[in-house]
Amino acid sequence: MTYDGAGEQVGAKSRFDQLVKHYRINRHLIEPYSPWQNRAETGIRIIKAKWKRLMSRRGVPKRLWDFALVWISEVYSRTATKNGRTGFEVITGDTPDISEWIDFTFYDWVWYWHPPDLTGNPHIGRWLGVSHRVGSALCYWIL
């Protein structure tokens, strides 16, 4: 494991340090202010740049920052890289199902019906992303 030595990680009595020692995890501490030594930092930098661009271009309110960050991370992990495979595929070995992400873009205007009145007029809202583990397949967060 490679990490940057944040205070919550390197304290001798920190929970993180105890678990690393308990499970005998090989660890490598990078030098301070050297993000190029940790490959994960590149991915974080890319996602943050995409997040800032999305928030600005779509006019997303700041209070929805977490929904935007989750959406960008999920789309990015299902986007093919130079080797032709997605991050999701590399980790799990499964080809990702992108059907939940192809209908809408983050903060799109959408029409929806609020149960139990599915016969009445639809309401208008903003699409915030896929709601995993809530409801059935193809359920979304709507504002």
| Residue pair 29/5 in contact by the 8 Å Cβ criterion | yes
Vertex 21, ends 92 and 36: CA angle to 5°?
60
Q: Does the pLDDT of residue 13 top 90, yes or no?
A: no
19 or 37: whose pLDDT is higher? 19
At 78 the pLDDT is 85
- pLDDT, residue 107, reads 95
Whole-angstrom CA distances from 104 to 72, 85, 101, 126, 129 are 13, 23, 6, 10, 8
β-strands 28-29, 2-3 pairing:
parallel
Higher pLDDT, 141 or 10: 141
Beta strands in 5-133 (DSSP E): 28-29, 109-112, 123-130
- Mean pLDDT for the chain? 86
Higher pLDDT, 56 or 117: 56
Task: Find all residues with CB under 8 Å of 77, minimum gap 6, and list them.
Answer: 86, 87, 88, 96
Q: Tokens for 79, please give them.
A: 């986007």
| pLDDT mean over 18-43 | 83
Whole-number pLDDT of residue 126: 95
Q: Which residue has the higher pLDDT, 88 or 53?
A: 53
Question: At residue 2, does pLDDT exceed 90?
Answer: no
- The contacts of residue 102 (CB under 8 Å, 6+ apart) are none
Per-residue pLDDT of 100-135, as tens digits, reads 888 899 999 999 888 777 778 888 999 999 998 887
Contact assessment for residue 140 and residue 131, using Cβ atoms and an 8 Å cutoff: yes
More confident residue, 129 or 30: 129
Residue type, 60: V
Q: Percentage of residues in the chain with pLDDT exceeding 70?
A: 98
